Amino acid sequence: MKKECIGDHVKLKGKAYPCTVSLTMDLVGGKWKAVILYHLKDNSKRYSELSKEIPSITEMTLSLQLKQLEKDGLISRKVYGKKPPVKVVYGLTDFGKSFVPVLDAITNWGNQVVVEKGEFITVATN
């Protein structure tokens, strides 16, 4: 029997999953979570920096995904200052940093797929 299938379920923070793959996908799956983590893997960033680096994400989605990633312990949110405008910086926690090798593998695989089956394109800016 495979290690991730030992027992009927796995549990994290009171939530049960049928296997570790399901748990992992709940934490980092979806269209944006891994993308956000990728943009935070080398250094912490402000919300506006993330928004500029991921222009196709809506403000509401970015905000919701950051809250979920923070709730799940993958990123931290540090607020500097007490009165608006405050400075808010997002960065990977140690738990989030443990996902970096997986992000690197996803990035390398994606690059390989594009080289073999697609193409890299450059969008002209005005």
Average pLDDT, the chain: 93
Paired tokens of 111: 């690059």
Phi, psi of 63 (to 5 degrees): -60, -45
The string of DSSP letters for the chain reads --GGGSSS-EEETTEEESSHHHHHHHHH-SSSHHHHHHHHSSS-EEHHHHHHHSTTS-HHHHHHHHHHHHHTTSEEEEEE-SSSSPEEEEEE-HHHHTTHHHHHHHHHHHHHHHHHHS--------
CA–CA separation, 73 and 103 (whole Å): 17
Task: Tell me what pLDDT residue 1 has.
Answer: 55
Domain coordinates of the chain in residue numbers?
1-30, 31-117
Q: pLDDT per residue over 91-118, tens digit each?
A: 999 999 999 999 999 999 999 999 999 9
pTM over 0.95: no
Task: Tell me what pLDDT residue 59 has.
Answer: 97
Residue 4, pLDDT > 70, answer: no
- For 31-117, CATH gives 1.10.10.10
Residue 16, pLDDT > 80, answer: yes
Residue 28, pLDDT > 60, answer: yes
Quick one: CA dihedral 38, 39, 43, 47, positive or negative? negative
